[in-house]
Structure 1
Amino acid sequence: MHRHSLEHDGIILSFLDAGGDGKPLIALHGHWMGASDFSVLAEDLAPDWRVIALDQRGFGETDHAVPHSMTAYVSDVIALLDHLSITEQVPVLGHSFGGIVAYHLAAAHPDRISAMVIEDIGVNIQDDSTPYVADWGGTFRLREDLEERLGPRLAPYLQNSIHRVAEGWALNFDPTEFLVSEQATNGDHWTIWLQSQCPALVVSGSESRICDAAELRSMAEQRAGTTFAQLDAGHSVHIDAPKEFVNLLRQFLKD
């Protein structure tokens, strides 16, 4: 995947584009993560699909210290599509935070979205990650020091979010800004979820500590044209079960 950028809403958005002649697929990452977490998925879906993954505002190589709101997140994706001159309807894959953006995007812009894959995120979001991230900020002399602070359960999923700075190692997002983003996505999103009409796939990780599988199954049951699937994985299903996730994605997109 190759990295590119564009300017929108006074900020610089960074994104990765697999390129090629495949059909475009927009990928939106979860909190704490970034576009680079879809690199393996992009390789596995090529050459049929051209994965385009956005570093959402405040994360990765996109500008930080910017306004956060659901309207802003959705507008960033539309700006990306416009920048790439993609006018046809495209599918969108959203993991966690990205999944919330994805179903808001499908509801607000049905003319741009052909289908959506919602990866391990529900519609009743009441998160407070302050206890987890309160001491993640700043610079650590050794990379191992930062990984130890993240803890053995989370550090493996945040490898792409750790980067080298002049004084040592740091996360490529500000934990304080992340908490602002978390508040922007909290709330009851059932009405938005039910507004869109495109086909949808809701994917649950059987070992997820973030989502209630019963809620995800209910999302599929209450929305027309929606399928539920569960894979043996944690919250980051596309990372924990890459082959199974790709097979599931290919089958859904083919249908």
Structure 2
Amino acid sequence: MTAMHHLTTPDGIRLAYADTGGTGRPLLALHGAFGRGRPFLSLADRLGPDWRIVAPDQRGHGRSDRAADYGREAFLADTATLVERLDLAPCVLVGHSLGGLNAFQLAARRPDLVRAFVVVDMAAELPPHDSDWLDGLPETYGSLDALRTEIEARVSLGEPLHFLEGAVETDQGWRLRWHPDDMREVKRQVFGEHWADWYASDQPALVLRGGASPIVPDDIARRMLDRPNTRLATIDDGTHDFYLTHRTRFHDAVAEFLTTL
């Protein structure tokens, strides 16, 4: 198992990250809201030693610290810190949902750090949707099955395993590493139009969307293709978290894009 490492950001947040190591070209994998970096390590099985996979738990997630700030600039500063401290630049970014937004915004604002990027089921424009399912979420559960049942009953968009990656057993029972209040703020900061950042860079990019997901509808996908050096691929029956449910096709799409660089 790949060991977890830690670094501390300039604003004092301790970030956890996994690193497959080696001398391959660097790929930084950024998970979505509620997720963790760990599932993206499986990219190493497909890409082999030619690529070094670094997968952090972003602030407020997994083994990284909670924070007072979940704004756009805070997430981008964290990502830049990871790239610079680990000497990854210029690297490929693969970002799911929240991570996809972080990827293309960093490409726009710090092009020196980003060689290319893959945006996984994230649009340059995301209308608000409610987080009511987080209301009254218990802090602890008697078993992992009980936690899974609770998530399955509440979540309408997404694969339960995506949320359960943040589960941990404590002396008081099973709990989620992320806090509902933090996730509400993370999501609030993601909503809106980000077209200025989308069009502000020209590195090679892949928009990889789920055909059964509402996040990147056809009209938005066509607008995103107006950006230079941008490709579009669709996992036809994939929902928002197809990186888990359609792992082989996800890996193949990323690998194919990387051969074009």
State TM-score, norm by structure 2.
Answer: 0.91
Partner of 2:90: 89
Q: CA deviation at 1:25?
A: 0.2
Query: Are residues 1:124 and 2:125 paired?
Result: yes
Partner of 1:224: 228
Runs ≥4 in structure 1, deviation > 4 angstroms?
A: none
Within 5 Å, give how 1:43-58 maps onto structure 2: 43-58=45-60
Partner of 1:168: 173
Q: CA deviation at 1:131?
A: 1.7
| Code of the aligned partner of 1:185 | V
Partner of 1:135: 136
Any idea what the Cα deviations from partners look like across 1:157-184, whole Å, max 9, x if unmatched? Answer: 3232111122101111001110011111
| Code of the aligned partner of 1:225 | N
- Of 102-111 and 75-84, deviating more is 75-84
Within 5 Å, give how 1:1-255 maps onto structure 2: 1-8=2-9, 9-86=11-88, 88-151=89-152, 154-220=159-225, 222-232=226-236, 233-255=238-260
CA distance in 2, matches of 1:27, 1:158: 17
Q: CA deviation at 1:137?
A: 4.3
| Code of the aligned partner of 2:191 | N
CA distance in 1, matches of 2:95, 2:106: 10
SS at match of 2:219: helix
Q: CA RMSD in A?
A: 1.6
CA distance in 1, matches of 2:7, 2:218: 37
| Code of the aligned partner of 1:62 | S
Q: Is the 8 A contact 1:15 1:55 kept in 2?
A: yes
| Code of the aligned partner of 2:86 | L
Q: Is the 8 A contact 1:13 1:57 kept in 2?
A: yes
State TM-score, norm by structure 1.
Answer: 0.93
Q: Is the 8 A contact 2:41 2:54 kept in 1?
A: no
- Of 149-158 and 50-59, deviating more is 149-158
CA distance in 2, matches of 1:39, 1:213: 30
